[in-house]
Amino acid sequence: MIIAIDGPAGSGKTTVSRLLAKQLGISYLDTGALYRVLTLKALEENINLNDGETLQKLASTMNVKIEGERIYLDDREVTVEIRTPLIDKNISQVASHPQVREVMVNLQRKITYCKDYVVEGRDITTVVFPHADYKFYLDADFNERLQRRYKELKEKGLSVSWEHLEEQLRKRDEADFTRKVAPLKKTEDAIYIDTTNLTLSEVVNKLLSYIKKKTIFR
Ligand code: DC
């Protein structure tokens, strides 16, 4: 069973997906983390981020390990490092290359093959798993998403200015929605959930109620 969840940055996807998977007793895959690890590796190796072919090679050979909420690159834990503003700033460029996306899509299908997973990202309901058992699109107002992202970074002890973060979120939204390959969009069959005024558990319960309803009528 695949539960596919898409939505913009700060829509609550990651936390919601993690909790939902826990409640259902199944696994969870944050596909953004894979793009983040690749961006970190490319920056560390001084790779030109316009060079799709070299990035593709890097993506197909990188050694990523996911253990619960912890992410490892070449056996080094990079859980916090991949969520810094430096990665946010550069990730859209890395994720824009079709060659990179091809490797990532295959990797995501390989990780989840024949298993029960909640998978979240930007192109999960459209490209990676268009025939997923359940499809959701999570959204929230821009200001709410900005606030969430600001809080998340502060809690991690990372210093960021509100204005800088606002500019970065706008740029990332623009890149996510207008990318030539696999842009973020809601499919007709995905259930739209506006999380702006909902608590985390309210969102999870909403998703669970749709899942239970569909299971009963199958
Ligand atoms: O979910 P996130 O904010 O960690 O994702 C970071 C970036 O990675 C996002 O702005 C675009 C890219 N991404 C993508 O292109 N496709 C995905 N399935 C997941 C993330």
Q: Kindly report the pTM of this predicted structure.
A: 0.95
Residue 216: per-residue pLDDT? 58
C-alpha 125/C-alpha 211 separation (Å) is: 16
143-155: per-residue pLDDT in tens? 999 999 999 888 8
Structural domains in the chain, sorted by start:
2-202 (3.40.50.300)
pLDDT higher than 60, residue 218: no
| Mean predicted confidence (pLDDT) in 111-116 | 96
Compute, in angstroms, the gap from residue 198 CA to the centroid of ligand 1. Answer: 23
Beta carbon of 176 within 6 Å of any ligand 1 atom: yes
Residue 82: per-residue pLDDT? 96
169-186: per-residue pLDDT in tens? 999 999 999 999 999 999
Mutate to test the pocket of ligand 1, among 122, 126, 146, 148 (most ligand atoms within 8 A of CB): 122
Instruction: Answer for the pair 3, 117: CB distance below 8 angstroms, yes or no.
Output: yes
Compute CA distances 47 → 35, 51, 85, 108, whole Å: 15, 8, 18, 23
Share of the chain above pLDDT 70, in %: 98
